Amino acid sequence: MGTGRRGLITAAVTVVCAVTVLAAPGTAFANPSPAPTSSATPSPTSTPSAPPTPVTNEELEAVREKLDRLYHDAAVATDAYNAAEEKAEKQSAEIVALAKKIVQGKKKLKKLKDRAGAAAASQYRTGGLSDEAQLMLSDDPQEFLDGAGRVIQGQRATKGLLAEMTRAQQDLELYAKDASVQWEKLEANRKAKAKAKAKVKKQIAAAEKLESELEAEEKERLAELERKAAQEAQTEWLDSGILDEIDGEATAQGKRAVEFATAQLGKPYEWGAEGPDSFDCSGLTSQAWASAGQGIPRTSQAQWQQLKRIDTKDMRPGDLIVYFDDASHIGMYVGDGTMIHAPRPGRTVTLAGAGSMPILGVVRPGT
């Protein structure tokens, strides 16, 4: 039985994609061999089953590394989902704005057509006679000349009216074309969002399945291994002497951002969430800075790409620490070598060592 249990864990860890179901339905870690049918009378030679073989720390460490990869991939997919969501919201707003312009443009064009129709009717009432004919038929030449001046002005106004109608028609066509392009982009981002959502769920489900195969005691040991790995990374970071160089003080905005973030301690991580009851990592940092009056991009990757980058030694409370080579995680520095972040599914917003994960760099919202 112990061999079957360990085999399941080993199989779960070594599967490269780590997203397949880890066993046939049934009790976790059950022996895959068929159980013998029980007889009415116990055999005098039967012996009790041996207790399950404990999972070694080496095997649990392999599980921990696999979980890290799964949750990392889920974080990348979450960023893709959030980016698609943000783009979709902007494109929806642009489509609404274009629709309003189209409505206004149609009203304007109708007014211009009404004016053009009135001008045409006025010309019709004059009989369409030439200037020479009207001069010969006029009893008062001066009155005619005065009228001719008004006609010239009217002709110029008519030409201007026609030009304005042409521009209005061109604007309408442009608005309609822009709306069509934005709609196509919106549909593309909806598909991208759905794909990213499916990937997030797949990665998280695989991680949860892997964890569910562990006994309670093994989960405790796994958690201890996670804490140990984070502490070792933090100790290495502190041993570099970096904390002796970091002495920046938070700005008023930075203090407000830190206050918001710390007020969320204990709230659960939820991918794609921006509060108020749950957060993902970039949802927490973006909302913290929004509460301080500074809008920043929604995703950790966009925050890394678009915000001002600073040296780690120059960071101050409120600055954002970006983790991993692909900027897939982010936290907020709160001082004394500590940051606050929303770690991953199954965890809550918490304080952690600023160097407990591989640091890509530091960015600063505001000034």
Residues annotated catalytic, as ranges? 281, 329, 341
Q: Is 110 left (phi over 0), alpha (psi -120 to 50) or beta?
A: alpha
Exposed e or buried b per residue across 284-312, where buried means at least 16 C-beta atoms within 10 angstroms of its C-beta? bbbbbbbbbebebbbbbbbbbeebeeeeb
Structural tokens at position 19: 């997203």
Reported as half-sphere exposure (CB side, CA atoms, 13 A), residue 324 has a value of: 15
Q: Is 308 left (phi over 0), alpha (psi -120 to 50) or beta?
A: beta
Q: 360: closest CA among 333, 315, 323, 326?
A: 323
Place of tokens 């640091």: 359
> Which residues contact residue 239 at a Cβ distance below 8 angstroms, ignoring those fewer than 6 apart?
none
Q: Is 56 left (phi over 0), alpha (psi -120 to 50) or beta?
A: beta
Q: Is 16 left (phi over 0), alpha (psi -120 to 50) or beta?
A: alpha
| Helix axes 2-14 and 57-125, enclosed angle (nearest 10) | 40
